[in-house]
Amino acid sequence: DAMVIQNPRYQVTQFGKPVTLSCSQTLNHNVMYWYQQKSSQAPKLLFHYYDKDFNNEADTPDNFQSRRPNTSFCFLDIRSPGLGDAAMYLCATSRDQSGGADIQYFGAGTRLSVL
């Protein structure tokens, strides 16, 4: 059973047209992450939520925003997609375990194309 679900799996948008990617989880984890992965590159963390607390990476462009309305759902909003934003977007979750393994569970990703 899928535990971290990303929709849609493929998304095509036009240059400058806002787009929203969604992620849901059935694990009841309190931390959710969004990564961007471009071809042949390492996944790059954009931001994460610890419960409702939003943590943005310093080099994440302002064009990228996120919302987490409840524990189960997290959204990635790209306000004005550019051609350079075409990538695979991965959502992940983890359960805060102080002193323990902080394993992240990933969804299958959404591949975004920008025309």
- Give the residues lining the site for other proteins (CB under 8 A): 4, 6, 30-31, 33, 40-45, 48, 50, 55, 57, 90, 92, 94, 96-109
Per residue, the 3-state secondary structure of the chain, as one string, reads CCCEEEECCEEEECCCCCEEEEEEECCCCCEEEEEEECCCCCCEEEEEEECCEEEECCCCCCCEEEECCCCCEEEEEECCCCHHHCEEEEEEEECCCCCCCCCCEECCCEEEEEC
CB of 107 to other proteins, least distance (A): 5
Least Å distance between CB 17 and other proteins? 26
User: Whose Cβ is closer to other proteins: residue 18's or residue 43's?
Assistant: 43
**45 versus 86: smaller Cβ distance to other proteins:** 45
**Shortest Å distance, C-beta 69 to other proteins:** 19
Residue number, 73 or 106, with CB nearest to other proteins: 106
User: Distance between CA atoms of 80 and 16, rounded to whole angstroms?
Assistant: 4
Report the alpha-carbon distance of residue 32 to residue 40 in Å, rounded: 24
| C-beta of 53 vs 77, nearer to other proteins | 53
Residue 33 C-beta: closest distance to other proteins, Å: 8
